[in-house]
Structure 1
Amino acid sequence: MQDNQESIKKVSGMYQEWFLDYASYVILERAIPSIYDGLKPVQRRILHSMRELEDGRYNKVANIVGNTMKYHPHGDMAISDAMVQIGQKELLIDMQGNWGNTYTGDRAAASRYIEARLTKFALEVVYNPKTTKWQPSYDGRNKEPVDLPIKFPLLLAQGVEGIAVGLSTKILPHNFIELIDASIAHLRGKKFQVFPDFLTAGSIDVSDYNDGLRGGKVRIRAKISQEDKTILKITEIPFGTTTGSLIDSVLKANDKGKIKIKKIEDNTAAEVEILIHLVPGSSTDKTIDALYAFTDCEISVSPNACVITDQTPEFLTVTEILTHNTNNTVKLLKSELEIELNELQEQWHFSSLERIFIENRIYHDIEEEETWEGVISAIDKGLKPYIAHLIRPVTEEDITRLTEIRIKRISKFDLDKAQQFIESLEEKIENVRHHLANLIDYAVEYFKSLKVKYGKGKERKTEIRTFDTIDASKVAVANTRFYVDREEGFIGTSLKKDEFLFECSDIDDIIVFRADGSMIVSKVETKTFVGKGIIHIGIWHKNDKRTIYNMIYRDGKNGPAYQKRFAVTGITRDKEYDLTAGNKGSEVLYFTANPNGEAQVVSVILKTHQRIKKLKFDLDFADLTIKGRASKGNLVTKYPVKKVELKEEGVSTLAPRQIWFDPEVKRLNADGLGILLGSFKGDDKILTINKKGEAKLVSFELSNRFDEELEIIEKWKPNKPISCVYYDADKDKYFVKRFVLEDTLSPQTFFGLEDDKSSVKVISTDYLPVIELIFPKIKGIDKEPEVINLEEFITIKGIKAQGNQLTTYKVKHINVLEPLPFEEIEEIEEEIEDDQQPTLFDRIEEDSNDENSDSE
């Protein structure tokens, strides 16, 4: 009875054992790659099987899959899918037939219709049976590699993704050439850094890559360009997406009202081409931002570098993986050299024995011997006087090989040729020993040779750049109508029978002011109660310092009146704020919201009072300093106010806005990042000139985008001329022109030659630009360089003018010199006295006890 009890196992214990066994199997044998060769077991078995079948010709993939099944204990579909994934990485497998499309996500044809063979790169770096460790296959009938002796950081080049039990791995692919350069840098003891690179191109922000370790992330964007005013073109897509999934995300964003498009076309074939047709009047810049914010045109990927090291999963950085792979390559190269050295020495040893055996006619010594032992003994005795210089003792096996030499070979033996062959072996031995003594230099040359032989066409495809942060609320299309029920105190998108206010986005925040001097900010909802006595409702943006609220209120039921100007930059949603002094019965007498800091002049009319002679006086809000929303304000009057009337619309009291251009993200900002373009107000514009010969004036809206062709960006001054030197290939002449732009937002072309050889040589916005012409030798004689002041050389003409010929001589090069000094007349702005000029950045005084605690 006791024995029976001891044999009983709890079900929970059995499940625990089985689960651990299953988890270990999935981790080690299916999902996670080895750090040594960077391959999962199925990938390793496919490559081993392909090497078995390799004869230089293409093999049907179905045949390769069938041969692999004797090593891989899973179905043929798993093998063929894994093989297609290897092939689509365009490194190890030379493909023929329809292997699918990584852009569109189309699947490969059936394995019986497509063919494959190993690439020359794979044959050189992946295989060497002499340095391969072997193990029995799953059924014991065959042998398979434990790891393939790959002499290259293949894991980082191809990337890998896998989900096991309890853990996963995601290693992004990196650039072939950059990995080789990094390996060389490591061998030289230098620091290195590598970043992901994708066959689908696009652009990538690696600011938070964290060296590929868990917790890091990269942002990947499609390449979007403006085809014309109503068409955007996508030519590169983010890694991990397809044209189909990207288009679906765009259509879904359109259906939700995040963006507005007319239609979308997919013209993808060998290259990606997706055309997005916009509705008339749409902003292309804002739509591009919205595509990045709401669709798969921008995705975020979190790497997770998990690998198998000595039968144990381990989380490493990309730097650690590359270091390990490079060191392993050196180890494998050393093993190959040692094997080669041993083989050469053995070859030298027997060649020397053979020469001694034939040259000294030792084979005659065995003519009288009748036994095998006698033959061996006779040859051994005959060799002894001549073998002192050999590198190892002569064995019975060596003597046996000598007896196997044919008579024909002995009769035709050439001592000179034999000696030359031995000397060539000695040179090879010396060369291998030199490589072993200078192993690091040998490894560096090995990596350099890989770069030369296989690096062509493997340049970086994905552009590394810093992305701008897009505020979704600023680029979301106004996709819903917003209403108010003033009588009951409700706001929302579902109150369609009540008063319509404006169109907004469903991710906007709404700010509400009430007659009792209170304020609240809430998200856009279908219906929200905000209280009665609503006097103003608007869309609120966090950190908006340019919207200034002007207010006059009565403090308490019979208290004095105060006036204040304030901005609302930070709040806690759905929290009520009191904008008055806090006494019960307070009431707002006058209120305006001013998106550009406008300050009105108002008339204050007092109630009749025996002590007051003047019952009406004017107030100018421009005289008031902008303070925090919690400030009490300035006293207007201690007498009762009958009403406040608008007397004069105000103008902005905010200082001109300083705008910077950040060349890293190609965007404007007001945060001091990049190059200061100047102070802007009103209708001021920015001048941009690209490399194609097109000038364009744009507003200073921060949502504007600028492409990679940008050559010049600065604040536009209407009377400042632009100078251009260009080469006309058809006429084989250089021309120079100077012109000013018209005040229009349409592009203005000043260089219209479209042949490949014509080009713009110099573009300058200096008042007095100076260039230097360098000439080639004329009949062997040097011609002195010529310095030209372009302002004196040509007057200002129309933008379409051909211009003047620059020189009659051939030009070798044009240098742009420092411009001549020019005293520019600054625009004189009407000044306001210091105590009457409330500027935005100098005068907003936030209440520290309120703003800091409430800011999100």
Structure 2
Amino acid sequence: MADNTTIEAAETGAAGIQAAELGREMRTSFLEYSMSVIMSRALPDVRDGLKPVHRRILYAMYDSGITPSRPHSKSARTVGDVIGKYHPHGDFAVYDTMVRLAQDFSMRVPLVDGHGNFGSIDGDSAAAMRYTEARLAKPAMELLRDLEKETVDWRPNYDESLQEPEVLPARFPNLLVNGSNGIAVGMATNIPPHNLGETIDAVCVMLDNPDATTEEIMTVLPGPDFPTGGIIMGRKGIIDAYETGRGSLTIRAKCKVEEGKNGKSSIVVTEIPYQVNRTNLMTKLGELIREKKLPEIANVHDGADRNSPVDIIIELKQNAIPQVVLNKLYKHTQLQVGWGVNMLALVDGVPHTLSLKEMLFHYIKHQEDVVTRRTRFDLRKAEERAHILEGLLVALDHIDEVIAIIRGSQTDKEAAAKLMERFGLSEAQTSAILEMRLRRLTGLERHKIEEELAELKEKIDYYKRILADPELLRQVIKEELQEIKQKYNTPRRTRISGQAKDLDVEDLIAEEDMVVTVTKAGYVKRLPVDTYRQQKRGGKGMQGVNLKDNDFVEHLFVASTHSYMLFFSTRGKVYRLKVYELPEASRHARGTAIVNLLPLEPGETISAIIATKDFPEDEYLMFGTEQGMVKKTSMSLYDRSRRDGLIAINLKEGDSLIAVRRVKPGEKVVMVSSAGKAIMWEESETRAMGRDTMGVRGMTVPAGVSVLGMEIARPGTELFVITEKGYGKRTPMSEYPTHHRGGQGVFTITMTQKKGLLTGMKVVEPADELMIISEDGVVIRTSVEDISQLGRSTQGVHVMNVAEGDKVCAVAIATEGSKRKEGDFVDDESIEAGADSDVTDDGLEQEAPAVDFDDDIDDEEDGEE
């Protein structure tokens, strides 16, 4: 149907119907509606920071004389004036807006002074408008100041019966001070509030230097300042918002920990994030406690009173760690919230996303216009008054003649005409003379007129200088802003934290030392150091773990819950777990089978374990394989993880990883082969390589011979070796010569058919205790001191009785510090117990209790298969 077709509708009596295409009409109407919402409802003006409804409420109260110097007036009266004169919308919408302008927890600088129930931070709604009273707050008068001096443009109201200001003079930057939020059609604004004094200082920085950078402005305006306080985590979101107009803030509640009786603590929440409902927050806390997500919390109760309207008291259970509980609260409740900044405002009626500098620029431009127009108004008024005073002085100088002219005239017009003709006066001057009272003829009155005229001439000269000098104009703006700051500034409430910290699982875990044990059969567990009591030297120890027959603890160390555990497999892969990810078990439990924690392939086993808290670039791991290959790689290359493991070393076909050791510059590496030979070389013989490499030859072994192990040979240690038939010995490392890497080495034991091939090696200290296991599962535990110390080329002594057909298959240092020093416990982060320890007679490396895994064990089974 044609757009402009007119259809006669005689039957309905209608004069005519304008036909239109539905789609086009919808597009046009919706566009008009959208622009109306954008322009007249949802978005603030960049100049005064107000939406139309805010501006109309303030102007209606000002026009009705409901100012700070007058008594409060019923809110219903103000709402009626607003909707009747300027804002033809719902009365509840207008009242809700007025209520928000009065809330000190919503507005950084409230613009309405409310009397009565205006709601609370708990989400309580205000009383009905017929019960509450309100008047303009003192700071609001600064937004309206000079309104009557033609400083802004005016426009007709909705029915053109009255005039209303298009914008307020806004003598302080309200858009930044109180912020704004609103949803228009297809766009939204969310501007955070700021501190009044800091914002004024930022304007002054721009006035002094229009080319100031955002960084320079942030020296006086570091970030938003919310009326409810709180903590902004990190500066990146602030910088993004100030530079681009968009950013994301993380706001935390302010909390303090109070120590109570019996080791119990309480967390007191004193400030909550902006726009968070306090009642909803407490309800959520209750839900989390009932759902057992916060088991450390004993009780939550309301501690708010007249002096502390926000306080929430969270009582913790005994021995709960407050910081861990706080981290959980930040993660699961609105004690920490994200706040998206979108600084969208109307500039000349068009929505723009503005940076901080652009906002300040447009505000300063508005103030220049306001002060210029005010100055012109004041100049005109001053010139008009001076003109009148000059006429009065002429009349006083010729008072007798003036009186005679007036007395001789029949009418006012005749008198005025004669005075104008005689003295050259204007109509305004003549009118003032005719209206002059007789008391103005005294000498004192003449003196007052002369003084007033002199003052006016000074003002006129000052006003003209302002209009002629842009620098002076800026100085006037600056001085008036500083006066407002002096009157209404308040201390900053929101603290800005320099470091943004994203919460992860680790933040919810208390950092404490744990005893980590790994058995020969592959069971792992952790338990707090405090589980083991401190014992004096020579103590008996306590039973530590119940194991299956023939199993024993092979690796034991103390590590923080936040440390990493690196598990190296026989296939050259490395898997990484945090200590807190290991299962926590009781002192008697075996733990969990490691295959349940790591995605090991069939036939893949763990050959080495390293525990570390960091990955320094200047520290290295030394790898050793069964075929004699070695590789040295910086630890920093292992500071990453994948669920299915990373390649730690490339292996040849048929080769397997047998050892990984932390190595320091200047240390020596010893390797031993099943042929009874040992080679020792400087770690500097190998250069550092990448992670995904094969390495170089560390020891040459003939076919059918394999490398049994690789250790770090430290001064004062001994090399222990044992054969298949149970013959072994220990030899001081000082008896072994240092060779170049890649040789076959020298004999470390005289091989005979009766004693069999070499099957195990360890670098030991006299205080160590060894566990020796056979293929049939027979295990013996013996002290190193009980094994003979013999020379390098001797045959060894009987260490273990091995049955016919059985063979020794493995040897391990049993536990750290249990027999080496009764009552001492060494914190070592290497794979083997005792490998890196350095305990003196004067004390402990780490203050921790002794652990003794007793031989008297039963068959309790707590681990997973």
Length-normalised TM-score, structure 2: 0.60
Task: Report deviation, 1:34.
Answer: 0.8
In structure 2, relative to structure 1, the CA distance for the partners of 1:580 and 1:383 (3 Å cut) is closer
The structure-2 alpha-carbon separation of the partners of 1:575 and 1:367, relative to structure 1 and needing over 3 Å to count, comes to: same
SS at match of 1:147: coil
Query: Is 2:141 aligned against 1:130?
Result: no
User: Quick one: distance in 1 between partners of 2:163 and 2:610?
Assistant: 71
* Secondary structure in structure 2 of the residue aligned to 1:234: strand
Structure 2 residue identity aligned to 1:65: V
* Deviation, structure 1 residue 5: 6.8
2:178 is aligned with 1:158: yes
**1:550 to partner: Cα distance:** 7.2
Match of 1:224 in 2: 255
1:691 corresponding residue in structure 2: none
C-alpha separation between the residues in 2 aligned to 1:572 and 1:212? 36
Task: Give the length in aligned residue pairs.
Answer: 614
Structure 2: distance between partners of 1:650 and 1:316? 74
Mapped to 2, the partners of 1:27 and 1:381 lie a distance apart of 62
Q: Which of the residues 119, 122, 125 maps onto 1:100? A: 119
Deviation by residue 1:817-839 (Cα, 9 ceiling, x = unmatched): xxxxxxxxxxxxxxxxxxxxxxx
Query: What is the match of residue 572 of structure 2?
Result: 517
The AA in structure 1 aligned to 2:405 is D
Match of residue 501 from structure 2 = 469
Match of 1:311 among 325, 346, 349: 349
Report the alpha carbon displacement of residue 59 of structure 1 after superposing the two structures with TM. 1.2
How far, CA to CA, are the matches of 1:402 and 1:31 in structure 2? 55
- In structure 2, relative to structure 1, the CA distance for the partners of 1:275 and 1:591 (3 Å cut) is farther
Assess if the C-alpha contact under 8 Å between 1:357 and 1:363 holds in 2. Answer: no
2:194 pairs, out of 150, 158, 174, with 174
Q: Does 1:117 align with 2:135?
A: yes
Q: Once the 2 structures are TM-superposed, how far is the Cα of residue 146 of structure 1 from its aligned partner?
A: 0.9
- CA distance in structure 1 between the partners assigned to 2:2 and 2:333 by the alignment: 67
| Equivalent runs, 1:680-829 vs 2, <5 Å | none
Q: Is the CA contact 2:670–2:681 (under 8 Å) kept in the aligned structure 1?
A: yes
CA distance in 2, matches of 1:247, 1:109: 23
Partner of 1:844: none
**Distance of aligned partners of 1:14 and 1:583 in 2 relative to their CA distance in 1, 3 Å threshold:** farther
Does residue 81 (structure 1) correspond to residue 144 (structure 2)? The answer is: no
> 3-state DSSP class of the match of 2:182?
strand
Q: Judging changes above 3 Å, is the alpha-carbon distance between structure 1 residues 251 and 181 closer, same or farther for their aligned structure 2 residues?
A: same
Q: Deviation digits for residues 154-175 of structure 1, max 9, x if unmatched?
A: 1111111111112221222111
Report if the CA contact (8 A) 2:386-2:457 is conserved: no
**Secondary structure of residue in 1 paired with 2:246:** coil
| Contact 2:3–2:19 (8 Å) recurs in 1 | no
Match of 2:488 among 432, 454, 465: 454
> 2:179–2:191: 8 Å Cα contact kept in structure 1?
yes
Is this contact kept in 2: 1:161–1:170, CA < 8 A? yes
Q: How many angstroms does 1:98 deviate by? A: 2.5
Equivalent residue runs for 1:267-666 within 5 Å = 267-269=303-305, 270-271=307-308, 272-292=310-330, 295-354=333-392, 356-357=394-395, 359-362=399-402, 364-365=404-405, 375-387=412-424, 394-395=426-427, 399=430, 403=434, 405=435, 409-410=437-438, 413-414=441-442, 416-437=444-465, 438-455=472-489, 458-470=490-502, 472-477=504-509, 514-519=569-574, 531-533=601-603, 535-536=605-606, 544=615, 552-554=624-626, 559-560=627-628, 567=635, 569-571=638-640, 573-574=642-643, 577-589=646-658, 606=674, 612=675, 614=676, 628-633=690-695, 635-636=698-699, 638=701, 639-640=705-706, 644=760, 648=764
Q: Which amino acid aligns with 2:36?
A: Y
Which residue is equivalent to 1:196? 224
CA–CA distance in 1 between the matches of 2:634 and 2:294? Answer: 32
Distance in 2 separating the partners of 1:146 and 1:112: 29
- Contact 1:180–1:448 (Cα < 8 Å) also in 2: yes
Does the CA contact (< 8 Å) of 2:622 and 2:663 recur in 1? no
Residue 48 of structure 1, CA deviation: 0.9
Return the match for 1:32 from 22, 40, 43: 43
In structure 1, the residue matched to 2:205 is 185
What amino acid does structure 1 have at the position aligned with 2:506?
K
Q: Does 1:67 align with 2:81?
A: yes
Q: Return closer, same or farther for 1:627/1:223 CA change in 2, 3 Å cut-off.
A: farther
Give 2:820's aligned residue.
none
| Distance (whole Å) between structure 2 residues aligned to residue 11 and residue 527 of structure 1 | 65
Kindly provide the CA deviation profile for residues 830-852 of structure 1, in whole angstroms up to 9, marking residues without a partner as x: xxxxxxxxxxxxxxxxxxxxxxx
> Contact between 1:564 and 1:632, CA under 8 Å: does it hold in 2?
no
Root-mean-square deviation (Å): 5.0
Contact 2:254-2:271 within 8 A present in 1 as well: yes
Q: 1:147 to 1:4 in 2, by over 3 A?
A: closer
Q: Structure 1 pair 258/602, CA: closer, same or farther in 2 (3 Å)?
A: farther
Contact kept in structure 2, 1:207 and 1:466, CA below 8 Å? no
Q: Which has the higher contact order (CA 8 A, sep 6+)?
A: 2
Contact 2:172 2:484 in 1 (8 A): no
Distance 1:227 1:595 in 2: 46
Q: Structure 2 unaligned runs (5+)?
A: 7-17, 466-471, 512-517, 522-554, 583-595, 709-758, 768-826, 828-845, 849-865
The 1:247/1:356 distance shift into structure 2, 3 A limit, reads same
Contact 1:520 1:577 in 2 (8 A): yes
Give the residue type in structure 2 aligned to 1:118. Answer: L
Aligned with 1:329: secondary structure? helix
* Cα shift readout 1:482-541 (whole Å, capped 9, x = no counterpart): xx9x99xxxxxxxxxxxxx99x9x999997654433345699999996533453499999
In structure 2, the CA distance between the partners of 1:215 and 1:130, relative to structure 1 (3 Å rule), is: closer
Q: Deviations over 1:578-617 (max 9, x none)?
A: 444333344344579x9999x99999672xxxxx4x2789
Segments of structure 1 that go 5 or more residues without pairing to the other structure are: 388-392, 488-500, 607-611, 652-698, 700-742, 746-856
Cα displacement (A) at 1:30: 0.7
The one-letter amino acid paired with 1:345 is E
Distance 1:283 1:471 in 2: 17
Task: Report the Cα offset of residue 280 of structure 1.
Answer: 3.6
The whole-number CA distance in structure 2 between the counterparts of 1:509 and 1:12 is 64
Q: Judge conservation of contact 1:197–1:461 (CA < 8 Å) in 2.
A: yes
SS in 1 for 2:345: strand
Report how far residue 32 of structure 1 moved.
0.8
Deviates more, 1:37-46 or 1:509-518: 509-518
Distance change (3 Å), C-alpha of 1:596 and 1:440: same
Query: What letter is aligned with 1:640?
Result: S
Distance 1:507 1:112 in 2: 60
Q: Give the number of the structure whose alpha-carbon radius of gyration is greater.
A: 2
Contact 2:416 2:431 in 1 (8 A): no
Call closer, same or farther: CA 1:550–1:67 in 2, change over 3 Å.
same
Deviation at 1:39, TM superposition (A): 0.5
- Alpha-carbon distance in structure 2 between the residues aligned to 1:119 and 1:398: 42
Shift of 1:176: 1.2
In 1, distance between residues paired with 2:612 and 2:358? 45
**Percent identity among equivalent residues?**
26
Name the CA shift for 1:369/1:114 in 2 (closer, same or farther; >3 Å).
same
3-state DSSP of counterpart to 1:516? coil
